[in-house]
Amino acid sequence: MRIKINNNFDRINQTYLFSNIAARVRDYSKGHPDADIIRLGIGDVTLPLPSVITEAMQQAVLEMGSAETFRGYPPEYGYDFLKDAIVSHYKDLGVNISSSSVFVSDGAKSDLGNIVDILGNNEIIIPDPVYPVYVDSNLMNGNHINLLPGNMDNGFLPMPDELPSGIEAAVIYLCSPNNPTGAAYDQEQLETWVSYAIDTGSLIIYDNAYEAFISEDLSHSIYSVPGAEECAIEICSFSKFAGFTGVRCGWTIIPDTLISEDGHQLSALWSRRQATKFNGVSYPVQRAAEAALSDKGIIELQKNIDYYRRNASTIASALDDLAIRYTGGINSPYIWLECPDGLGSWDFFDKLLHKAQIVGTPGEGFGQAGEGFFRLTAFGTYENTCKAVQRLRKLL
């Protein structure tokens, strides 16, 4: 063919992370067919949806089967019933947002990846290690990325004073609680980021996918920081909070007060983008999402979150006893540990697989600053988590 392709794709690291993990596990299983392998590598939820959600979904499906209640294309930005439920969810978190700033989507990943469509070629600031979508989508768009390394000294919560000099207005991605490190910014740190963004004319894209796991006294939204409505977009997900990884629903908040230097309202650009390239989230899914935010839904989902939290604290307390340094596990389903004995991420992966039959995720897969670290997740069963912890105690 003589067409031109987007050569920016050549800049993207081929991340063979999960296929590499799968290949190593497959090889090991071939040689050890009876091995009881425990998988603590996945970032996917495992508990089923509570009945308050499945019943709402079933009811909506029945409505779709009747002429009186059938619905066709959904509104591009979400049904009012779900947008209102999201506004009221924020109210419960102590934050006022307007319904017009809410854009319902099929998940946070799409919005995080697509938001570059409305932005020009800006300088980009991304903490390292982090969820790889921010880096890859900006590379695809030809942008220059400034990585801001996390480490044990900054608690994997890099701050603006660690930025190289000379960067002015930038698009800044913050993920808090963070995947993979589980670290979460406190209110004061978020205030510092917001005032940096306002002073430099920057935009923060705040990935709040793990908000429901916050258990300490921390901000549940960037909009609890005064001034954030002038400089921040927040992107959220029903995936981890409500078990929607397979159902697919999320939302993005773009306040009407986000306006570019040349007078463009970011929410108007996003409306236009979505109206052109997105046809909305299905009615049964939006009814399920509404049920997740209902009083009963929140109570039921809290039980699931508590279940994962118990797993996280089981892993964390073993690491405490073993004097292995880590972040996360308190406001997050992820535990990010320093590989013992100075091992590299993949060497530690092999050691855990071969000597304890535990599968985790090598930190290097989330960015260069992840080398020497390792992610374990709390999304397994409690029984398997306890079993894995026993093996870790014996091995390490």
**237: contact with ligand PLP by CB under 6 A:** yes
**131: contact with ligand PLP by CB under 6 A:** yes
**257 exposed, middle or buried (CB, 10 Å; 0-12, 13-18, 19+)?**
middle
- Measure the CA–CA gap between 362 and 336, rounded to whole angstroms: 10
Return the number of the residue (43 or 380) whose C-beta is nearest ligand PLP: 43
- Token code pair at residue 375: 């992610």
Residue of 101, 137, 181, 239 interacting with ligand PLP (CB under 6 A):
239
Residue of 46, 98, 151, 245 interacting with ligand PLP (CB under 6 A):
245
Amino acid letter, residue 162:
E
Return the number of the residue (107 or 362) whose C-beta is nearest ligand PLP: 107
- CA nearest neighbour of 266 among 74, 117, 113, 137: 117
- Give least dist CB 366 to ligand PLP, A: 10
Return the number of the residue (72 or 246) whose C-beta is nearest ligand PLP: 246
Return the number of the residue (252 or 357) whose C-beta is nearest ligand PLP: 252
Cβ-contact 97, 255 below 8 angstroms: yes
- Give least dist CB 126 to ligand PLP, A: 12
- Give least dist CB 130 to ligand PLP, A: 8
Give the C-alpha distances (Å, rounded to integers) separating 293 from 45, 59, 277, 282, 329. Answer: 18, 17, 27, 17, 24
Handedness of CA 382, 384, 385, 387 (dihedral sign): positive
If binding means CB under 6 A, how many residues of this protein chain bind ligand PLP? 13
Return the number of the residue (205 or 389) whose C-beta is nearest ligand PLP: 205
Return the number of the residue (83 or 240) whose C-beta is nearest ligand PLP: 240
Characterize the bridge pairing of strands 373-377 and 334-338: antiparallel
> Which 161-220 residues touch ligand PLP, going by CB under 6 A?
175, 179, 207, 209
Cα distance from N-terminal residue to C-terminal residue, the chain: 55
> Which 56-115 residues touch ligand PLP, going by CB under 6 A?
107-109
Return the number of the residue (109 or 287) whose C-beta is nearest ligand PLP: 109
- Give least dist CB 183 to ligand PLP, A: 12
**363: contact with ligand PLP by CB under 6 A:** no
Could you give the angle at the alpha carbon of 270 between the alpha carbons of 268 and 275, nearest 5°?
95
> Which 16-35 residues touch ligand PLP, going by CB under 6 A?
none
- Measure the CA–CA gap between 41 and 39, rounded to whole angstroms: 6
Buried (b) or exposed (e) across 68-100, using 16+ Cβ within 10 A? eeeeeebebbbbeebbebbbebbeeeebebeee
> Which 250-289 residues touch ligand PLP, going by CB under 6 A?
250
- Residues at the interface with ligand PLP (CB under 6 A): 43, 107-109, 131, 175, 179, 207, 209, 237, 239, 245, 250
